[in-house]
Amino acid sequence: MTGRGPYTVEDNRQLLRRFGIKVLVTKDSGDRGGVLEKLEAARLEGCRIVVVGRPPDPAPAACSSLTELISQVRGQLPAEFPTPPPVSVLALDLESVLAPELWQTVALAAGVHELAVTTRDIPDYDVLMQQRIRLCREHRLTLARLQEIIATIEPLPGAREFLAWAAARMLTVIVSDTYYELAAPIIRKLGSPLLACNWLAVDAEGYISGYQLRSPLGKAGTVAEFRRLGLAVIAVGDSYNDLGMLQQATTGILYRPCPGVLQRAPGLANVDSLRELQNELEKHSWEEA
């Protein structure tokens, strides 16, 4: 039987008579749950009534952080409930690790060489983005046109398979300085992994007019948030703007870095392919990463 409440006393009486019900078992759902109408209908039809009472409401525990909330939840579990192993996070850069550089693809398609510049060339991210915003307007590249170009990009060979392998072993997050409005097509092609990045501001004419960072500290701030939650983080990146998150991470790994980046982080592991990266990750215990 299907139906949608609230039901009147007469509705309930008809139901009791239709099925010849002699005993009514109901939870104490309160006035809004229609329990009074059920009880009255059962009385009028001569049914026995069994009411399942509500458990006493415990005093709510106040939590000021996710870490405290997790601790409170674990405290409510039975003693024999197994304690889950510590969670590790794999924080991966997107461009040049899992996908081609988005702006270099745009530069080639639009014939605007200056748009190919990345943080490998201009470490100051705001300077780089203001240059991109200016060039897009000068060359009439609206957000819609940028999205059209980026939709043609395919993941780098083996990227999707690598993500599936990693996600089976630890929480895998793409931490990028790109933008949701630009990255959506390539993220879908990668199997829709979790993405932590930034947002664009667009003016009435459809041009990029500014941007909003997910964290004022960029990728490093995102990794720091994971660390504050008590999570171990293995971070992987290739460029100047990745150095902060690699240093914030429990373990940092450089992926095909340019020489200048390598010189600034000589103590980090350095890999040249997704296969090498997988081998490097296998050296780490997921519980102790």
Domains in the chain (CATH in brackets) are 12-52 (no CATH), 88-282 (3.40.50.1000)
- Which of 91, 12, 15 lies closest to 251, judged by CA? 91
In this structure, what DSSP letter does residue 185 have? H
Question: Catalytic: 45?
Answer: no
- Across the chain, which has 289 residues, the per-10-residue mean pLDDT values are 70 83 83 79 88 70 70 70 68 95 95 89 88 97 96 96 92 94 94 93 96 90 90 92 91 90 86 95 63
- Give the per-residue pLDDT at 56: 66
Check: CB of residue 226 under 8 Å from CB of residue 249: no
- Give the per-residue pLDDT at 289: 38
- The active-site residue, picked from 10, 28, 93, 282, is 93
What is the Cβ-side half-sphere exposure of residue 9, based on CA atoms within 13 angstroms? 9
Cα separations in angstroms, 279 against 22, 232, 241, 269, 271: 68, 19, 24, 12, 9
- The active-site residue, picked from 11, 37, 95, 121, is 95
Check: CB of residue 88 under 8 Å from CB of residue 164: no
Question: Catalytic: 93?
Answer: yes
- Give the per-residue pLDDT at 265: 84
